[in-house]
Homo-oligomer: A and B are copies of this chain.
Amino acid sequence: MNLLFTEEERDFRAEVRDWLESHRPPGIRPLDGRGMADYDIAWQRTQFEGGWAGIAWPVEYGGRGLTTVQQLIWHEEYAKAHAPEIGVCFVGLNHGGPTLIMNATDEQKRKHLPAILRGDQVWCQGFSEPGAGSDLASLRTQGRVEGDNIIVNGQKIWTSWAQWADYQELLVRTEPGSQRHAGLSWLVCDMKSPGITVRPITTMAGVAEFCEVFYDDVAIPLSNVVGGVGNGWRVAMSTLSFERGPGFMAEQMEAARLVEELIETAHTVRAPDGKRPAIQDDGIARTLGELRAEVTALRSMALAGISRADRTGTPGAEASILRLFLGEVVQKLYRAAMEIIGDESLVLSGWGQGWTRPYLHSFAYSMGGGTSEIQRNIIAERVLGLPRAR
């Protein structure tokens, strides 16, 4: 156990810091619309040109091939530099791309991997369905093999930023009548294919982030199947071990920053008695103190997760512990904020500003990447070894 970084790691940190300082895009990232997508793509291109695209991808595929600790350093410096979130490029870099690296043919790789790194291809995910949310294996979107094509009919939902995506990693049932995990295929779906309709869904916080995607006889070439027809489940799950342990650090740092910001806010707004700053109210101060302890613990847990991933090559089911705890802390933070800010709680704050719009956004923390209930099941069954329900 130690908290020390090697000299090489310290040098690397300096390099990252210098580069981010001089290349971080100016201005505020739009939080919706075409402008947001363009902003994200431009920033991805800048990173590509600086040699920072695909920091976790193997060098042979154009990535930077950083060690886990280097990735941690990257994310720490990234957060400190207030570099923008990865946005629409997330799926390509962190899920679609890695899946191709592990499962695709050389030709498929050549077509997509460099383009993803350059920001030329924006990807989205196509897994969840209206009837298959937490229970992914019950998906029903059909792919019928006809000649050289798979003809897709059905519907996906919760596809983030489908309206700005060029490609989709699409999981469909290609074996009629198959059950659960069997008979699925993983396809590269060109979002410009005829028969695709994208309908954005507005969140509670007013962002058109999620989409429904409808498929009406969409023809996808058989050559776009990755990992073979019928192997979709295995392909989709293969990237679980690629889940971003070090990437979590960026989220932890954001939460820690927010706690400090709320403490500062509590110095400026009035306590419930109207007579003193809120921070002088022992109850409010204590809520903030607990939050401070919790985000601090989150950092220690994230570092432990990185140490674990470094040894085993995968973050393991313990990643669910981090995710569950982060969601609880962030929701508690915003709920405390709503009580602390008083009358400001009635005013919807601007994009990425203030407390109220982020409060609304924070409901997503117990939904995304598996609900909190699913995370608890995973922790109980895979970390603690409790039996699954029949």
* A residues in contact (CB < 8 Å) with B: 271, 281-286
Closest residue on chain B to residue A281 by CB atoms: B282
Shortest distance between the CB of A289 and any CB in chain B (Å): 10
- For the complex, what is the distance from the CA of A285 to the CA of B281, rounded to whole Å? 11
A281 to B281, CA, bound (A): 8
- Closest B residue to A284 by beta carbon equals B282
CA distance A202 to B138 in the complex (A): 50
- Copy count, this protein chain: 2
**Contact residues of A: prevailing secondary structure:** helix
**What are 8 contact pairs spanning A and B, CB under 8 A?**
A271-B282, A281-B282, A282-B282, A282-B283, A282-B284, A283-B283, A283-B285, A283-B286
Give the CA-CA distance A282 to B272 in the complex, in Å.
10
Shortest Cβ-Cβ A-B pairs, 4 listed = A283-B283, A282-B282, A282-B283, A283-B286
Contacts of A271 in B (CB 8 A): 282
- A308 CA / B282 CA spacing, docked (Å): 42
A115 to chain B, nearest CB (A): 49
- Chain B CB count within 10 A is highest, among A271, A282, A285, for A282
Q: Chain B contacts of A286 at CB under 8 A?
A: 283
Complex contacts, A283 vs chain B, CB 8 Å: 282-283, 285-286
CA A282 – CA B279 in complex, angstroms? 11
Q: Knowing that A282-B282, A282-B283, A283-B283 are A-B contacts, what are 5 other residue pairs whose CB atoms are under 8 Å apart, sorted by A's residue number?
A: A271-B282, A281-B282, A282-B284, A283-B285, A283-B286
Q: Residues of B contacting A285 with CB < 8 Å?
A: 283
| Complex interface: chain B residues within 8 A of A282 (CB) | 271, 281-284
Looking across the interface, which residue of chain B has its beta carbon closest to that of A283?
A: B283
CB distance from A252 to the nearest CB of B (A): 26
Least Cβ distance of A290 to chain B in Å? 10
Looking across the interface, which residue of chain B has its beta carbon closest to that of A273?
A: B282
Complex CA distance for A271 and B283, rounded to whole angstroms:
12
**A377 vs chain B, min Cβ distance (A):** 15
Measured CB to CB, the closest approach of chain B to A41, in angstroms, equals 47
A217 to B281, CA, bound (A): 67
- For A280, give the chain B residue with the smallest CB separation: B282
Please report the C-alpha to C-alpha distance between residue A281 and residue B285 in the assembled complex, in whole angstroms: 11
Which B residues touch A281, using CB under 8 A? Answer: 282
- Cα distance, A285 to B283, chains bound together (Å): 8
Q: How far is the CA of A283 from the CA of B278 in the complex (A)?
A: 12
How far is A335 from B284 in the complex, measured between Cα atoms in Å? Answer: 20
Nearest B residue to A289 via CB reads B283
Q: Which residues of B contact A284 (CB under 8 A)?
A: 282
